[in-house]
Structure 1
């Protein structure tokens, strides 16, 4: 497996983890009282947007050629860290 494939697999696995967390939060939101449901819905929307943005970045990297991918990696690492932190913060507010 190439470095690129391993890197992309790692990113995909993280997105899969986020999707599992989102599913848990969505279930919790469905069971919440009406006033809490509004708060949960706002949190879920934010988390979905963050996930969607990272999925798009992942698709861009998958389409990129070997040279382009290497140039994109540093920017992706920084963006990934920011997005992961934002996702965790949104998840923490959910708990």
Structure 2
């Protein structure tokens, strides 16, 4: 098995920055949803709920990875990256749908 050379701390710092950036982008979408017409607002809110659910899953996996030992964090990393990819897809879909 080929182990990544990236340290747990370096990876966590990179992921934290990505999560912070995505949270800010989700907040921007929420602000736009709040300004949308009533009919569009329902659609925005549905997409935002999906984003929040996927974001929470990614943050939970990130927290799990932070608690893992140096030896075990690589195994948890794969689960986090899957959750992160799902969050990214949901965000891109929301951006496309609302012309961002």
User: What does 1:54-65 align with in structure 2 at a 5 Å threshold?
Assistant: 54-65=58-69
- Work out whether 1:69 is the aligned partner of 2:73: yes
Deviation readout 1:13-50 (Å, 9 max, x if unpaired): 11111111111111111111100000000010011111
Q: Is the 8 A contact 2:58 2:87 kept in 1?
A: yes
CA shift digits 1:33-82 (9 cap, x unpaired)? 10000000001001111111100000000000011112223343344334
Q: What 5-or-longer segments of structure 1 have no aligned partner?
A: none
Point out where structure 2 has 5 or more consecutive residues left out of the alignment.
1-5
**Alpha-carbon distance in 2 for matches of 1:70, 1:29:** 38
**CA RMSD, 1 decimal:** 1.7
Secondary structure at 2:72 match in 1: helix
Q: Give TM-score, length-normalised by structure 2.
A: 0.82
Higher relative contact order (CA 8 A, sep 6+): 1
